[in-house]
Homo-oligomer: A and B are copies of this chain.
């Protein structure tokens, strides 16, 4: 089983980057997700999608966003007390297609202490498909957001080695 270091606040620094595992977008799951949460013709069937602005079947942007979260949570951004989003910006420049292999690249932009919450960090997240695999940070991103994460959990033990967690859930 692969292992990923769990990071505490003082392990982090601006400019630090992380790359998630990958996730294959499945056509059946794209349609199921859309039927439950975004039942519009261009997410449900090929012919309507061809006639739409998407020019072919496209995943709901909320499906893509949810997959990004899965990639972050299952090793892509291994913060010790999890990833609690407070908000941010989101955009979907190109559509996500069946067969796309997605991954998330993250960069810590800043870590800002606040009075009400001991520490918070702002992390810039880029989601790339298989065409962006050469570590490019171009506009060929699938999801982009500033995710503010609560990094306030104290270390439970005074130890230098980062903890390990399993990543068996990675695609």
Contact = CB atoms under 8 A, between A and B. Distances in A.
Interface of A: 33, 36-42, 52-53, 60-63, 65-67, 69-70, 73-74, 82-92, 145, 150, 169
Interface SS of A by simple majority: mixed
Contacts of A169: 39
Given A37-B67, A39-B73, A40-B83, 20 more contacts: A33-B66, A36-B66, A36-B70, A37-B70, A38-B70, A38-B73, A40-B73, A41-B82, A60-B66, A62-B62, A62-B65, A62-B66, A63-B66, A65-B65, A85-B92, A86-B91, A87-B91, A87-B92, A88-B91, A90-B90
Contact of A37 (B61, B66, B84): B66
B88 A37 contact: no
Contact of A89 (B41, B52, B88): B88
Contacts of A150: 53
Nearest to A67: B37
A86 B92 CA distance: 6
Top 5 A-B pairs, shortest CB-CB distance: A87-B91, A37-B66, A62-B66, A40-B82, A37-B70
22 contacts: A37-B69, A38-B70, A39-B70, A39-B74, A40-B82, A41-B82, A52-B82, A53-B84, A53-B150, A61-B85, A62-B62, A62-B65, A62-B69, A63-B66, A66-B66, A85-B92, A86-B92, A88-B89, A88-B91, A89-B90, A90-B90, A90-B145
A40 B73 CA distance: 7
